[in-house]
Amino acid sequence: MARVPINGATLAWARAAMRLEPADIAKAAGTTLEKARGFESGDVEPTLKQLEKIAKKLDRTMAFFFTAPPAVVDVPDTPDFRGRGEEPLPPNLAREMRRAEQYRDAMLDLQGKPERVVRVGSVTRETLQRRAAELRTQFDLRGDFVPQMHDMSRVLNFWCDLLERNGYLIFQTTRIPLSVFRGLSIHHDHLPVILLNGADSHAGKVFTIFHEIAHLANKTSGLCDLDRHVNEEAIANAFAANFLMPSGQVRAFVEGCGENGLELARKMGKVFKVSLLAAGVRLCTLRFINDDELETLREESDAAWNEHQAAQKANPGGPPAWRLRYRDLGRAYIGAVAKAVEDDRADWLDASYLLNARIPTVEKMFEEYYRSEASQL
């Protein structure tokens, strides 16, 4: 059986970059741990089929393993995981972060640096309310603005489109449990990235976006864990709450609502286009409901989410793969690739590579992009 003389140091580099162990390579290649270690030391050469499996596992081209290892790791780190002691960055999340960085690089190549960039100063416990108001002003949103769509998927699309018109890039990812992450941000001076967990609810994603904006305002990459109570996460949560539910608006709503307690939170979630739990936490913070009422809302929210997940498992069909791909890559990035093809700056093979999709899938995504563009005229 033909074997291939790969660069073992490059294999070791790629494995470490993806936060994997030699045992993971052995399993992917269908061989022993001893031989997998031999691939890295140069004592053993893999077969072509084994290299193909290793390349897929490490999200690299086969040709990559015949070159010298790069000088810099291409998977960005997050301070959240650096601050979690020995807890490593999960390999599947490392892969998605690496791809997000690749898409960002492609976006810059296709369109250059964004013309409009909206940023606010550092977000601290003392400044978060002011920074949230400043961000609304920079987005040209009046003080009492709330998206008027009833469908939360359209609300999410509104916020994503607004941010991507103002110097941010937003992607989603599939097949990573919410227990691993809800969202993360990768800081760059130009075109910072926000990565959302596609498994979350639309309302949850909206809140996560502005949580990550707080991390980016502080010029740090971050990983969103809405259940953590460490200072930085609490500040980011409070910033998101102040942006989506400014205290003045909330007080005016409460005064005119005519409800109290649990029903007040339910109505507020619908009016402000946030989750029931986010509305409850905000009302509790402003002392319109008490801790016991908030705990009841938390239990109600958890029960509704569990019911939603059970319904999904009972009906596993879901949307077609191309539509999930469109959701994950987002309208801004797909549009940049589509316009490059339209202007003859890229061909269909380039588009297939840039979107990591087969050409029939690319065609469907382009059709959806142009349909959405026409609907906004």
Task: Say whether both 291 and 349 belong to one domain.
Answer: no
* pTM exceeding 0.85: yes
Q: Is the pLDDT of residue 196 over 70?
A: yes
Structure tokens at 297: 């809302």
Look at the alpha carbons of 215, 183, 171, 279 in this order and tell me if their dihedral is positive or negative: negative
pLDDT digits (tens, 9 = 90+) for 8-40: 999 999 999 998 999 999 999 999 999 999 999
Tell me, yes or no, whether 287 and 352 share the same domain. no
**Lookup result for tokens 């990459």:** 221
* pLDDT surpasses 60 at 71: yes
pLDDT at 209 over 60: yes
Residue 319 has pLDDT above 90, yes or no: no
- Tally of domains within the chain: 3
Are 226 and 360 contained in the same domain?
A: no
Same domain membership, residue 360 and residue 248: no
234 and 141 in one domain? yes
Exposure string of 54-76, with b = 16+ CB inside 10 Å and e = fewer, is bbebbbbeeebbeeebeeeeebb
Whether residue 78 lies inside any domain: the answer is no
Q: What is the DSSP letter of 195?
A: E
> Range of 27's domain?
1-43
- Mean pLDDT (the chain) is 90
Would you say residue 343 lies in a domain? yes
Q: Are residues 126 and 272 in the same domain?
A: yes
Answer yes or no: do 197 and 244 share one domain: yes
8 A C-beta contact, residue 243 and residue 210:
yes
Q: Tell me whether residue 62 is in a domain.
A: no
Q: Which residue has the tokens 């991390």?
A: 215
Residue 313 domain-assigned?
Answer: no
Pairing outcome for strands 193-197 and 169-173? parallel
Same domain, 266 and 143: yes
Task: List pLDDT tens digits, range 283-307.
Answer: 999 999 999 999 999 999 888 888 8
CB neighbour burial string for 250-264, b if at least 16 within 10 angstroms, e if fewer: beebbeeeeeeebeb
Residue type, 11: L
Residue 59 lies in a domain: no
Task: Determine, yes or no, domain membership for 28.
Answer: yes
- Average of pLDDT values for 60-75? 89
On whether residue 60 sits in a domain, the answer given is no
**How far apart are the C-alpha atoms of 102 and 288, rounded to whole Å?**
46
Q: How far is C-alpha 122 from the chain's CA centre?
A: 22
Within-domain flag for 91: no
Do residues 170 and 32 both lie within one domain?
no
| Section 128-139 average pLDDT | 95
Count CB atoms within 10 A of the CB of residue 293. Answer: 18
Say if residue 268 is in the same domain as residue 329.
no
